[in-house]
Amino acid sequence: MKTLQVNIVTPDGPVLEAEANMVIATTEAGEIGVLPGHVAMVAPLQIGALRVQIDNETKLIAVHGGFIEVRPDVVTVLAASAEKAETIDLARAKIAEKRAKAILEVEKNAKELALAELELKRAINRIRVGEGNF
């Protein structure tokens, strides 16, 4: 069976380097599935779960924006932040969610509201991926 080389990289270094059967990502245009031989493309990523199928196992990675570059045999994700499901600190993510919700309830400044909304989206993404609820 043909596979794809998958590389997920952040400024802190590589998060995942593996041979995979399929990658599913959430782009600005919607969810895409990538199989070996996919047409070359580049797309911006939304905050969401990246699913990497390796044999019969699906690895979940919380990705917070960035870009996906697809070539017929290689998928590269360049993300500002990415975490494997098994490394997510759920307690910390739930605290971040509560903190962002509290800010959204009282904040009036548009810039601060936008930052709190972004923090809330990231926290919810981390919780969903960490709990396997994608």
How many domains would you assign to the chain? 2
- Helix (H) or strand (E) holding 78, with range, is strand 74-78
Q: What pTM was computed for the model?
A: 0.87
pLDDT band at residue 112 using 50, 70 and 90 as cut-offs: confident
Q: Which domain holds residue 35?
A: 4-85
Supply the CATH number for residue 13's domain.
2.60.15.10
- What pLDDT score does 92 carry? 95
Within this chain, do residues 24 and 78 fall inside the same structural domain, yes or no?
Answer: yes
Within this chain, do residues 78 and 96 fall inside the same structural domain, yes or no?
Answer: no
Within this chain, do residues 77 and 124 fall inside the same structural domain, yes or no?
Answer: no
Supply the CATH number for residue 96's domain.
1.20.5
Within this chain, do residues 10 and 25 fall inside the same structural domain, yes or no?
Answer: yes
Within this chain, do residues 94 and 66 fall inside the same structural domain, yes or no?
Answer: no
Q: CA of 63: how far to CAs of 10, 60, 67, 112, 130, in Å?
A: 10, 9, 10, 22, 12
Per-residue model confidence as pLDDT tens digits over 28-70:
999 999 999 999 999 999 999 999 999 989 999 999 989 999 9
Instruction: Report the alpha-carbon distance of residue 25 to residue 123 in Å, rounded.
Output: 18
Per-residue model confidence as pLDDT tens digits over 54-110:
998 999 999 998 999 999 999 999 999 999 999 999 999 999 999 999 988 887 888
What percent of the chain clears pLDDT 90, i.e. is strictly above it? 83
